[in-house]
Structure 1
Amino acid sequence: MKAQKSILLVINPIAGDTDKKPIIEAFKNHVRTNGNTPLVYETTGENDNEAIANYIDDHDVKRVLISGGDGTIRQVADGLKERSINIGLLPSGSANGLASNFLIPENLEDQLDIALGDTFIDLDVLDINGYTSLHIADLGVNAKLIKNYEKSEIRGKLGYFLQAIPTLLNSDYPFEVEIFANGKSHKEEGVLIAIANANKFGTGANINPTGKMDDGLFEVLIFKNLSIKGIIQTFYDDAPLDPDFVTVISSKEATIKCTKPIAFQIDGEFIGEQSLVEAKMTPHKLRIAIP
């Protein structure tokens, strides 16, 4: 007789402004059907990293499923840095950028099959100014959009859309930066400087088409202007980016210095205005179940 395994669902109850009860019930039914024990932890926003790590140890959890957005995934990753445990994704955030890179389907039952399956990627984990990053961090217009979105009352993709135009109209860009990477200095002007472990934003824009999420490198991308042609190209997966629109630097470490503080976000969370950003690849990997 096969021994039961404890499977933990970490769920953010406010992610994406949607009802999470159907996700919890489907998770419990799916896990029980396979002869295992379902456990649920709802995030509170207070000491969740430590609480999740302790919960995993206390209940001998064998796999963790995460329901939320990129911020929730990053939060769980923080608590699992010193632990080797398999992760599954049930995306339920506003944009779900990381899940979109893995082509996780929208159907919940399909998501559960994948999350509890046996196909994995050992995802690179970055440290950026002391924060864990798995997806994409950036300085500039996108970070300012996220800042404005967090202050708005309308959630989901509609909330992002409604903030996009006023953000662009009120943005004081381009800005000047100096980037140190691979023993070289690069002085550039840009409207957005991205530190990308992944390829796509949650919107589907493929800003880093040649990047790989498990190769031990990340890309610094300097978007020089708000070129309509360049933006449209990002929505075609096989389209090479115009070098007049974006400069790409691959590295394991990079330091970005701005002439003035600029809006900065990591994996969909606004961090504040920063004039110095230091990014490096860590020795940690996050094993995530994928299609």
Structure 2
Amino acid sequence: MNDTLKNVLLVINPVAGDTDKQPIIDLVRDYLRPKGKLKLFRTTGKDDAANLHKEIQSFRPDRILVAGGDGTVKMVAQACDGARYVLGILPAGSANGLATDLGLPQDCGKAIVTAMGETTVRMDALRIGDSIGLHISDLGINAELIKNYSDAAVRGRFGYVLSSIPTLRETRTPYHFTISANGEERKVEGIMVAFANSKKFGTGALVNPHGQIDDGRFEVLVFKKLDVLEILKTLRGDIDLDTDFVVVIQTTQAQVTTLEPVSFQIDGEPRGEVTQVSVSIIPGFVEIANDV
């Protein structure tokens, strides 16, 4: 244990991944004994960022641990409001895309050791309207799937599978997008437009091989058609960027508009239907513990 980390704030999302978080709390407490002090903050889904910001200002933790999925990590990073806190991720969501992309341990005991370590990486974020994104946000079929999943009674990966059935059957694709980036405007049809600050979805699917979390740029990915063969290749991690399937635009800012409202999500959290999204890069926004 890093002896300089005396006060630790553990942010728990109780519903993430549909799993009991008490074992995580117990492991963190055991790890900190006898010198460390642990304080818990449980999310409720109401004013979490604002309430957490007040807790951080009051407690002044030496390290903030996050037990949840991508949306929880994003909320904590936003609650820090630019202050130089290091976040340690304990993957506990249904799909832990950011943790997967960073190569963080999935085993909780090993994840705690990494999360409390001295090695860190400072990563960029995406400014998306009045929010931020750390991982992958998108408009279209994936956002529809996430919305259906959030409304479903069954959680976990099986819930994703069940939610995909009506989504694929009832989707209104193709959508019509207008994308403005790098001084150019292009009109495209597709099933999804994604804004990627990293390489992989939580399933491990490699969707953005050019993605780097600290290069001061992000990628706009236009998936043009619902091609089962190409999707299977992507899930295996051997995407070859066939331009008939996906177009990649690397940039520092972009705006996407649609003819009709389209489902939108930020880091796994549904944000309703939109007709316009503006995105820009925020270099070096948050520091993450990572010994890889």
Aligned partner of 1:59 in structure 2 is: 59
| Counterparts of 1:153 and 1:229, CA distance in 2 | 30
Q: Show the counterpart of 1:78.
A: 78
Deviation at 1:50, TM superposition (A): 2.2
Does 2:228 align with 1:225?
Answer: no
How far is the alpha carbon of 1:284 from its aligned partner? 5.0
Tell me if 1:170 matches 2:170.
Answer: yes
CA displacement at 1:214 relative to structure 2: 0.9
Segments ≥4 residues shifted beyond 4 Å: none
Is contact 1:32–1:38 with CA below 8 Å preserved after alignment? no
In structure 1, the residue matched to 2:14 is 13
- Give the alignment's Cα RMSD to 1 decimal: 1.4
> Deviation per CA, 1:115-155, whole angstroms, max 9, x where unpaired?
01122111111111221101111111100011111111000
The percent of aligned pairs where both chains have the same amino acid is 43
Q: Is the 8 A contact 2:7 2:37 kept in 1?
A: yes
Q: Secondary structure at the match of 2:230?
A: helix
Does the 8 Å CA contact 2:222/2:248 hold for their aligned counterparts? Answer: yes
Contact 1:209 1:240 in 2 (8 A): no
Give how far 1:164 is off: 0.8
Pick which of 246-255 and 222-231 moved more: 222-231
Which whole-Å CA distance do the structure 2 matches of 1:26 and 1:106 have between them?
14
Secondary structure at 1:198 match in 2: coil
8 Å Cα contact 2:176/2:258 also seen in 1:
yes
Residues in 1 aligned to 2:4 and 2:132: alpha-carbon distance in whole angstroms: 34
Q: CA deviation at 1:260?
A: 1.0
Moved more, 245-254 or 46-55: 46-55
Q: TM-score, normalised by structure 1?
A: 0.95
Contact 2:206 2:238 (C-alpha < 8 Å) held by counterparts: no
Structure 2 residue aligned with 1:113? 113
Farther off after superposition, 225-234 or 22-31:
225-234
Q: Partner amino acid for 1:87?
A: L
CA contact (8 A) 2:214 2:284 kept: no
- Contact 1:11 / 1:43 at 8 angstroms: preserved in 2? yes
Name the TM-score, length of structure 2 as normaliser.
0.95
Deviation at 1:253, TM superposition (A): 0.4
**What is the letter of the counterpart of residue 29 of structure 1?**
D
Kept in 2, the 8 Å contact 1:81–1:284? The answer is no
Amino acid at match of 2:166: P
CA distance in 2, matches of 1:60, 1:140: 40
Gaps of 5+ in 1: none
The code of the aligned residue for 2:134 comes to L
Please say if residues 209 and 238 of structure 1, whose CA atoms lie closer than 8 Å, have aligned partners that are also in contact.
Answer: no
Count residues with an aligned counterpart: 289
What is aligned with 1:22?
23
Return the alpha-carbon distance in structure 2 between the equivalents of residues 99 and 283 of structure 1: 19
